[in-house]
Every structure is written in structure tokens, then in C-alpha cells.
């Protein structure tokens, strides 16, 4: 390894010497190789950290369209794609429409996929006593209410129905006055069957985002949610919601956690039902 490194250093040194010689002869200059290397080292050392560069490139202009049909130029509230004035607009659209709007606004090359899981599973948490039965119990992908829906928002490297992403709850009141998105869990979705003769399932494994704070995946989740303005801080969401019913973000979050825990953090949906649910549309 040392011999190989020495070889490459020799080659680089020879190329640098030749380049300096050509420039000096062609343009009557007196460039020193050492000064070039010093300038390059200074330039590299003065580069801002990658994390800071990412922060500067985050979409910081509000996504809202004002009443006069012009775009809002205000800065976004951290963690959202709306400014403080327009934050009330968050959650007014179904999640797939919101994702598409954000991607189009900020010219993302890839639009994250969303899969609708409905809300029927929330009320179907009275499981049979037999663990072997209840863990394979297929859940329905149906919506019994227009106010609450759940989605899987896949990381952009996954283009279909399976892979990893984030579990998102969407609430909008019947009068459309209050609404929110709420990311609650990291999810992995796999095709599952015990053997060739058994029924097939979409196996959805979940871990609460809060439980992953010390894991490398946490930064990926938070960065991904930030790109689409999907909040995950329950207290932050709750600050702007006056609803004190079961649809209050804190109450909703605790209910979702309890339901998912009752499924042992794994939900099995009928494979056919899952792949026939609408991807990216509602």
C-alpha cells in the first residue's frame, strides 16, 4: 500500500511540474508549484462544513400562493415549508398532493412515493389472544373517516411499494379549519409469506422516531422530513392546534403509539390489498 501511494504521489508531482512549466513558458509567467498547492490547501480548509452547506440549500422560501396569485417570499418556519403567516395552510391537502407540490416548487428530481393505509387499522386493535394469529392478522386498507388518514412516505431511493420510509398521520377537521401532518415512526415494508402455500402479506415494521435519536438513521429521517416540511415534534404541532378532542396532536400521537404497540410494532396488510392501494394518489 505504501509503495502504491508513493507511486501516485510521484505521478501527481510530475504532472504538476509539467503543468507549471507549460503555463510559465506559454504566458511568460513565474508560477511556483508550491504556491499552487498552498492555495489549494487554503481553499479546501476554508470550505464550510457539509452540514452547513446543506442548511443553506434547504428550501427556505414559503411555498404558499398569496391572494393576489403571487408567491410568498417570506422565510419558512424551521421544519416547515410555510412561513408563520401561512402555516395554517399546512395539512390542508392530502399528503400525496402536498409531496408533489413541494417537489415541483423546489424542483426535486425525484418525488417521494406515498402509499395510503387509511384509518381502519386504528380501530381494529382488539386482537385475538393467540400471538401466532394476531401477528398475521391482515389489516384492511380502508378509511372510515375523511378526517384522519395514514401514509407511508418512502425515502426517494425506493420507487415502489416496498422499502423504508416514514409513517405519517394526516388530520383535517370537517370544517377544514384545523389540520396537520405528523410523522410518528420509521417504517420498513417487505413482502412476507411463511411458505409458498401461505397467504402473502405486506409486512410493515415500525419504530417510533423518538426511539431512534441515538441511531444513524435518525439524521436521515429528520433531513428527509425537512425537505418536505413534514413535522415530527408533537409539541410543536400542538402549539397551533386548538382542538382538545381525540384529534388533538398529543392525544392522537399517544393513541397511535398504543395501537401500534398492540400490534407488537408490526402490522400485516393483505398483500393484494396493499399493492392495489393508490400509490402517490388519493
Output the pLDDT for position 228. 94
Higher pLDDT, 195 or 245: 245
Average pLDDT, the chain: 80
Could you say which DSSP state residue 145 is in?
Answer: -
CA distances from 64 to 56, 69, 75, 181 (A): 20, 10, 11, 16
pLDDT band at 77 (very low <50, low <70, confident <90, very high): confident
> Taking Cα atoms as reference points, which of 23, 22, 148 lies closest to residue 94?
148
Output the pLDDT for position 100. 94
Burial class (CB in 10 A: 0-12, 13-18, 19+), 112: buried
Q: Is the pLDDT at 41 greater than 70, yes or no?
A: no
Under 8 Å between Cβ of 194 and 245 = no
pLDDT band at 223 (very low <50, low <70, confident <90, very high): very high
Structural domain boundaries in the chain: 2-45, 48-89, 95-275
Cα–Cα dist 258/278, whole Å? 27
Which pTM does this prediction carry?
Answer: 0.73
Under 8 Å between Cβ of 139 and 119 = no
Output the pLDDT for position 155. 96
Q: Is the pLDDT at 118 greater than 90, yes or no?
A: no
Output the pLDDT for position 102. 93
Amino acid at each position: 500500500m505504501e509503495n502504491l501511494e508513493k507511486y501516485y504521489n510521484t505521478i501527481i508531482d510530475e504532472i504538476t511540474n509539467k503543468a507549471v512549466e507549460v503555463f510559465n513558458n506559454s504566458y511568460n509567467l513565474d508560477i511556483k508549484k508550491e504556491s499552487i498547492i498552498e492555495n489549494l490547501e487554503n481553499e479546501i480548509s476554508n470550505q464550510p462544513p457539509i452540514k452547513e452547506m446543506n442548511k443553506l440549500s434547504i428550501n427556505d422560501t414559503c411555498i404558499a400562493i398569496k391572494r393576489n396569485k403571487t408567491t410568498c417570499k417570506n422565510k419558512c418556519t424551521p421544519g416547515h415549508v410555510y412561513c408563520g403567516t401561512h402555516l395554517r395552510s399546512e395539512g390542508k391537502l392530502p399528503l400525496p398532493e402536498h409531496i408533489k407540490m413541494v417537489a415541483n416548487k423546489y424542483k426535486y428530481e425525484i418525488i417521494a412515493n406515498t402509499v395510503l393505509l387509511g384509518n381502519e387499522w386504528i380501530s381494529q386493535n382488539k386482537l385475538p389472544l393467540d400471538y401466532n394469529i394476531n401477528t398475521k392478522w391482515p389489516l384492511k386498507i380502508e378509511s372510515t373517516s375523511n378526517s384522519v388518514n395514514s401514509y407511508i412516505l418512502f425515502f426517494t431511493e425506493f420507487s415502489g411499494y416496498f422499502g423504508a420510509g416514514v409513517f405519517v398521520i394526516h388530520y383535517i377537521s370537517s370544517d377544514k379549519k384545523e389540520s396537520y401532518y405528523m410523522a410518528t415512526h420509521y417504517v420498513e415494508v417487505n413482502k412476507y409469506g411463511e411458505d409458498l402455500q401461505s397467504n402473502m402479506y405486506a409486512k410493515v415494521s415500525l419504530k417510533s422516531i423518538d426511539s431512534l435519536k441515538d441511531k444513524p438513521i435518525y439524521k436521515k429521517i429528520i433531513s428527509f422530513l425537512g425537505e418536505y416540511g413534514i413535522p415530527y415534534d408533537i409539541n410543536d404541532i400542538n402549539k397551533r392546534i386548538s382542538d382538545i378532542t381525540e384529534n388533538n396532536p398529543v392525544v392522537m400521537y399517544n393513541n397511535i403509539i398504543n395501537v401500534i404497540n398492540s400490534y407488537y410494532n408490526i402490522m400485516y396488510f393483505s398483500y393484494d390489498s396493499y399493492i392495489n392501494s393508490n400509490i402517490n394518489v388519493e
